[in-house]
Amino acid sequence: METFLELSAIILIATIVAGITRALKQPLVISYIITGILVGPAFLDIISSQETFGTFSHIGIALLLFTVGLNLNLRVIKEVGKVSVVTGLGQVVFTSLVGFFIALALGFSWIVSLYVAVALTFSSTIIITKLLSDKKDINSLYGKISIGFLLVQDLVVVFILIVASSLSGDFDLASVVSSVLLKGAGFFLAVFLVSLYILPKFLKIIAKSQEFLLLFAVGWCLALSGLAYYLGFSLEIGALLAGVTLAMSPFRFEISSKMKPLRDFFLVLFFIVLGSQIMIENIGQYWLPIVIFSLFILIGNPVIVMIIMGILGYTKRTSFLAGLTVAQISEFSLIFVSLGVSLGHVSSEVLSFVTAIGLITIAGSTYMILYADRIYNILSKYLIVFERKGKKVDQSQKQKNEIYDIILFGYDRIGYDVLETFKSLNEKYLVVDYNPETIQRLSKKGIDCKYGDAGDIELLNELELDKVKMVVSTIPKLETNLLLISKIREVNKDAIITVVSYNIDETMELYNAGATYVLMPHLLGGYHVSFMIKKHGLDLAKFLEEKESHIKSLTKRMQGSI
């Protein structure tokens, strides 16, 4: 009962803080961390059931990585595998080396400098995945690359934690490496075989009941997370693998939608617990290292990633957006330093100042990622130094050097039907999308297309918007659509501009900015149902005809036909 009362009080405080944060138009992640500080030992000291709330936060981590795994497939791994490994390992090496020498220059001992340097190396997969999910950028190229190299970092940190924990006794590097490799290979092979030969048969039976499907998904996620942890790996690896095994299942979308509310609730508790662990006492004497290291993480880490990705041949925009995702330290950083404290290698004051760096960089990077498009547009001309000349890896396209009458931004979902209509018109049209898979698929079909983001001013300047007759944006981001409308209206007062919105206030703002028509899909859905009822009345046969037609349309989409 005590835990229930604590949870009730914490959720109430979180709701109040989130309401204030929302009114100030700030990211809710910050409000959860602030709630954690308020309910932690430094202020209200509400949390006494530390172990219980720690378990809640681990469940949130597992569910988040599980849903990420549901959206991964072998094509994505093939597409971003090389850059993820090179960037992930490269950033670990360079950040740790630079951080080590900075710590030595600030007067720390070599052992403290080593711990601090390694701690500052790792970025938070959990926080970045949540932010990318909120921005709906998980499936963008930079989103895939970011998740890829963050998971590479997770594998590295697991190995480092195993090595560090072994330093208290007899340590044999060869035995540790062989043990990890053997257990990892066995674990992956066993899960692969189960997912290939057993899971599909069970899912067909399980999916007949919606409640059973949800229960199975949660159970499968937690089971593999627990097994991975038992074998000496991280919960994240097990949860991600559990999702990947279901990524090819026809029920993955249903599982993902059902898991989202559960995932979000436990993630709130994760961030609150993270905030409650921040110790603000005894850090006054470390204010200079805190400032220097925070700036190094917020600025230095993105620069390192941009340099590596630039060498690999990526555009400055993709490199910049991916670079921002490493501008904070991870929860593993705190775990690593905590381990050093328990082993007597570093003092608790070091853990306090690393925790302060964590709060500053998590808060700072959250704003940087959420407002990445604006920041990029400001810094774009200065980032050319990070870009190689010539054709870039991420510029897959099939575009003729001509003027287009119609431009479609965002192909998937709504754009599919819009493009079908474009084909019937005797006008030249171009599709712009930030998902490289979509561009490759369109290119193979002979459709003029270009990889890019509608929020990129440089891209908009290349498209000769002064000559276009119609622009359709299926992107639901208000800021992106406002920028798009503004750039078009600067040079073209007569173009038809159609954009998408899910909010009435935002719809009115888009109209005031110059949109010709704002599509609101949820309202249109209600209108469509109403229209069918008026048209068919209570005629079951007519509705079944509509059903068959809808199924054929969905099947065509699933097969990738355009």
Backbone angles phi, psi at 407, to 5 degrees: -125, 130
Residue 85 in domain: yes
- Domain end call among 357, 386, 415: 386
Same domain, 196 and 128: yes
Predicted pLDDT at 561: 46
Q: What is the mean pLDDT of residues 369-389?
A: 85
Count how many domains the chain has: 2
Asked, for residue 17, whether it belongs to a domain, the answer is yes
pLDDT in tens, 449-477: 888 888 888 888 888 888 899 999 988 88
**Residue 246 clears pLDDT 60, i.e. is over it:** yes
Higher pLDDT, 173 or 353: 353
Domain membership flag for residue 326: yes
Q: Which of 13-22, 246-255, 487-496 has the lowest mean pLDDT?
A: 246-255
What integer pLDDT is reported at residue 79 of this predicted model? 65
Q: Are residues 83 and 22 in the same domain?
A: yes
Residues 461 and 343 in one domain: no
Q: How far apart are CA 80 and CA 147, in angstroms?
A: 10
Q: If pLDDT is split at 50, 70 and 90, which confidence band does 562 have?
A: very low
Report pLDDT for 81: 74
158 found inside a domain: yes
Three-state SS string across 39-89, please?
A: HCCCCCCCCCCHHHHHHHHHHHHHHHHHHHHHCCCHHHHHHHHHHHHHHHH
Distance CA 74, CA 372 (A): 28
CA–CA gap between residue 119 and residue 350 (Å, rounded): 11
User: Are 345 and 457 found together in one domain?
Assistant: no
Q: Does 541 reside within a domain?
A: no
Structural domain that includes position 186: 2-386
Identify the pLDDT of residue 560.
53
Q: So what's the pLDDT on residue 189?
A: 85
What does the DSSP 8-state code read for residue 385? G
| Within-domain flag for 535 | no
CA distance 436 to 459: 16
Report the CATH number that the domain containing residue 315 is assigned in CATH: 1.20.1530.20
C-alpha span between 309 and 320 (Å, rounded) = 9
Predicted pLDDT of residue 101: 94
Per-residue pLDDT tens over the stretch 279-316 = 666 667 788 889 999 999 999 999 999 999 988 888 88
Predicted confidence at residue 168, as pLDDT, reads: 52
| Of 405, 366, 376, 426, the residue nearest 495 (C-alpha) | 405
Closest Cα to residue 10, out of 41, 47, 42?
47
> Is the same domain home to 89 and 180?
yes
Instruction: For residues 449 and 351, state if they share a domain.
Output: no
Evaluate whether 450 touches 431 at the Cβ level (below 8 Å): yes
Handedness of CA 418, 522, 60, 246 (dihedral sign): negative
**Do residue 58 and residue 92 come from a single domain?**
yes
Asked whether the predicted pLDDT for residue 396 surpasses 60, the reply is: no
Lowest mean pLDDT among 8-17, 132-141, 172-181, 371-380: 172-181
Residue 158: the pLDDT is 66
pLDDT score of 460: 87
At 208-220, the pLDDT tens digits run 787 888 899 999 9
Looking at residue 1, what is its pLDDT? 66
Task: Give residues with Cβ within 8 angstroms of 151, minimum separation 6.
Answer: 84, 88, 125, 236, 237, 240
For the cut 70, the answer to whether the pLDDT of residue 176 exceeds it is no
- pLDDT band at residue 515 under the 50/70/90 scheme: very high
Share of the chain above pLDDT 70, in %: 87
pLDDT band per the 50, 70, 90 thresholds, residue 164: low
Q: Is 449 helix (H, G, I), strand (E, B) or coil?
A: strand
Longest dimension (CA), the chain: 82
Model pLDDT, residue 294: 93
Verify that 419 and 338 share a domain, yes or no: no
Q: How far is CA 393 from CA 46, 371, 451, 549, in A?
A: 52, 25, 11, 40
Average pLDDT, the chain: 82
Regarding whether 403 and 256 lie in a shared domain, the answer is: no
Bridge partners (DSSP) of residue 498 are: 472, 517
**Top-ranked range on mean pLDDT: pick from 191-200, 213-222, 348-357, 442-451:** 213-222
Kindly state the average pLDDT of the residues 410-439. 79
- pLDDT over 60 at 378, yes or no: yes
Domain identity same for 364 and 429: no
Does residue 189 sit within a domain? yes
Q: What's the whole-number mean pLDDT along residues 489-514? A: 90
Parallel/antiparallel/unpaired status of strands 406-409 and 429-433: parallel
My answer on whether 376 and 304 are in the same domain is yes
Q: Which CATH number belongs to the domain containing residue 471 in this structure?
A: 3.40.50.720
Q: Last residue of a domain, which of 519, 536, 551? A: 519
Mean pLDDT of 91-97: 91
Query: Model pTM?
Result: 0.71
Q: What is the mean pLDDT of residues 410-427?
A: 76
455 and 327 in a common domain: no
End residue of a domain, out of 331, 363, 386: 386
SS3 (DSSP) at 515: coil
Q: Is residue 171 a part of any domain in this protein?
A: yes
Cα dihedral value 7, 11, 13, 19, nearest 10: 180
The better pLDDT of the pair 293, 388 is held by 293
Residue 333 and residue 128: Cα distance in Å, rounded? 15
